[in-house]
Amino acid sequence: MIAGFYKPDRGSVYFDDRLINDIPPYRRNVGMVFQNYALWPHMTAYDNVIYGLKVRKVPVSERVRRAREALDIVQMRGFATRYPNQLSGGQQQRIALARAIVTEPDVLLLDEPLSNLDAKLRVETRHEIKRIQRELGTTSIYVTHDQEEALSMADNIAIMNEGRIEQIGAPRDIYSKPINSFVAGFIGETNFIEGEVRSIREEEGLLTIRASSGDEILAGVPHGRFTVGQEVLCSVRPENIRLMDVSPDLPGGQVHEGEILHMAYYGVIEHYIVRGFGGREVKVTNFNPDVKRRDDGERVLMAFDPEDVDVFPF
C-alpha cells in the first residue's frame, strides 16, 4: 500500500501532509529493495543502478554522478562492470540498495532484504544497511520477521497482528514493556505462567498471584487495574531467571523449585530447559556462565524479581 501496488480497503496513507492513496506507484518517489534482489540479469551492476534515472530522463551528467555516488555509498564501485550472476548474494543486495537510493526517494521500502543470505552475511549486511540509512537520513520502512534484526536496526518498531498494529515504540520499550501477551510472546522469548490474583499490595507496589501449579508469584503492579480473583498471564523473560543450588536454607524473595531437562552451551551463554511450576517447561538463559556445569536431572532453584514479571489479563 505504501509503494502503491495495493489500495487500502480503508484509511489513508500520507507522505508528510500529502495524501497518496490515489497516486500511482511511479509518481510516489518510493525506493524499493526486494527480497529476491530483482536485478536485471542482462545488465551490469552500474546499468542496474542507473536504469531508474534513465527512465526519469535525468540529464546524462547528473545520472552518471548519482549512479557513481550510490555505488560508492554501498562500497560497490569496483564491481560496477560485473553482471548479477558474477556477484555474491550480499553484493547483489548492495546493488539493489544502490538502485533504490539513487533516485533519492522520499521513502525507502525494504521487504525482508536479508532473508536469502546466510547468517554471517546477514549480520554484516544489516550493519551496512543501517550505516547507509543513517548517512542518507531517508525515512525507511524495513519489513522483517527476524526479531533480532528489528531490535538491532530500528528507531521504532511496529508489531502487527492480523493487519492491526498492537504496539509501536522504541525497540527497548517494545521488549521491556510489552503492552499485551501477544507482543511479549512475539518479540524475544518469554515464559508464560497462568494464575489468579490473590492479593493487591498497592502500598508496596506488588501483586501476589497464585499460579495454576500452586506456586505464588510476586509481580510489580502493572499498568491497568486488576482485581482479586482475576485470571492473569504472567510473562518472565529467560534472561531474568537465575538458577541457584538447592539448599536447606532457602534464600528470601521469589524462589521456585525445578529440574533441569536440557542444557545447551554456546560459550557466552547457556540455555536451559527447566521443569517447574507443576511440570511446565521453563526457558532460562545464563549469560557469562562460570566453570560449574549443571547436568540434566539436577534439582535447582529458579529466582526472579517482581519487577521482571509482566502481568496481562488472561
- Residue 250 is predicted with a pLDDT of 52
- Residue 290 is predicted with a pLDDT of 75
Give the three-state DSSP class for 20.
Answer: coil
The domains found in the chain, sorted by start residue, are: 14-155 (3.40.50.300), 189-313 (2.40.50.140)
Question: How many residues are recorded in the chain?
Answer: 314
Q: Kindly state the cell numbers that stand for 12.
A: 489513508
CB 89 within 8 A of CB 116: yes
Give the three-state DSSP class for 210.
Answer: strand
* Other residues' Cβ atoms within 10 Å of the Cβ of residue 111: 16
For the chain, helix, strand, coil in percent to 5 are 30, 30, 40
Q: What is the full per-residue pLDDT of the chain (314 aa) written as tens digits?
A: 999 999 999 899 999 999 999 999 989 999 999 988 899 999 999 999 999 999 999 999 999 999 999 999 999 999 999 999 999 988 999 999 999 999 999 999 999 988 888 888 888 888 888 989 998 899 999 999 888 889 999 999 999 999 899 999 999 999 999 999 999 999 989 999 999 999 988 778 889 999 999 999 999 876 557 889 999 999 999 999 999 887 656 555 688 999 999 999 888 899 999 999 989 999 999 987 876 778 899 999 999 999 999 999 98
- Residue 224 is predicted with a pLDDT of 59
Nearest to 89 by CA among 51, 128, 112, 115: 115
CB 300 within 8 A of CB 247: no
| Cross-strand partners of 141 | 109
Q: How far apart are CA 171 and CA 185, in angstroms?
A: 15
Q: Kindly state the cell numbers that stand for 14.
A: 500520507
Give the three-state DSSP class for 67.
Answer: helix
Residue 108's Cα: distance from chain center in Å?
Answer: 19
Residue 280's Cα: distance from chain center in Å?
Answer: 26
Nearest to 79 by CA among 51, 46, 114, 111: 46
